[in-house]
Amino acid sequence: MYYKNNVKKLMKEYNYSLNELKNNCELSLNTLRELKNNPFHNFNMESAYNLAQAFNCSIKDIIDDDVTTIYFDQIAEENKNDPFFINHQVFSPENVHYLRKLFLEVGVPCNIKPYGLYKKAIVKAQEELSSIFVDFNLLLKNEGTPTLFVRDFFVVVNKVILNETIIKDAFIKAFEIYARKLKISQIQFSVLNDFQMREYKAYESLSDLPSDYSFTVGTESSIFIENNFEGSTTSFFLVDTTLWRKTLS
């Protein structure tokens, strides 16, 4: 079982010094100092019970056994001098929760899987039986300017029910809201200029309702222009790709 202690967090909440905490429990000052400075320091249930009494809280408040949070906290500690971690701009559990909420407001529950030291994330629609299917690859980069880079801006909708342009516009706005909340200075989209119409027969076969999941890989430039993005092509991308960029004030 992986776990971490919340001694430092609780000391801050209760405004306890180490000496004050020592006076309220049976653990030594050295042990308490080690627990405060190293959240992953091993300690037994008797110590956890002792601390719970000192803080007048549940043992569950002393120990955090959420593996996702624990792993992130370890990576964050190892990268505490990285600007993205300092400014809480990485795809942390908290930030992923907020981004998932934004996508749910657009109309689709999504699985968001961070990787690459929480500076990258893959986003896919969670449910097969949905009127919206998405596939995004997100990247945080800092070449002088903290940037949220959206690769593979792939959105497919059931056109019998939904307006594709409105849904794509909503996702662009959601990404911008997310970037602003995290105080990221710039947002970029790389979009293939491929407007050949394709069919999504696999999706249509799952639906009992009338459906039309035809789509193009590309996205009309007017959607980005109306959101005040500037487009350009560069040698870093394929010839048939446009890079849409917006600086956030």
pLDDT in 10s for each residue of the chain, 249 residues: 457 788 988 999 989 999 999 998 889 999 999 988 888 777 788 888 889 899 998 888 888 766 677 788 889 989 999 999 999 999 999 999 999 999 999 999 999 999 999 999 999 998 777 899 999 999 999 988 999 999 989 999 999 999 999 999 999 999 999 999 999 999 999 998 888 888 877 777 778 889 999 988 889 999 999 999 999 986 555 568 899 999 998
* Helices and strands, number each (H, E), in the chain: 11, 9
Both structure tokens of 39: 């959240």
pTM > 0.85: yes or no: no
Distance CA 204, CA 3 (A): 45
DSSP symbols for 154-173 = EEEE-TTTS-HHHHHHHHHH
Considering the chain, tell me which residue range(s) the CATH 1.10.260.40 domain(s) occupy: 4-65
Residue 124 has which token pair?
């896919």
CA 154 – CA 213 distance, rounded (Å): 13
Q: Give me the sign of the Cα torsion angle 84, 113, 206, 204.
A: positive
CB atoms closer than 10 angstroms to residue 172:
23
| Domain 4-65 classification at class level | mainly alpha
Regarding the domain delimited by 84-247, which CATH topology (the fold level of the hierarchy) does it fall under?
A: Aminopeptidase (3.40.630)
Per the structure block, which two tokens stand in for 81? 């001098």
| Count of beta carbons in the 10 Å neighbourhood of residue 88 | 12
The segment(s) of the chain belonging to CATH 3.40.630 are 84-247
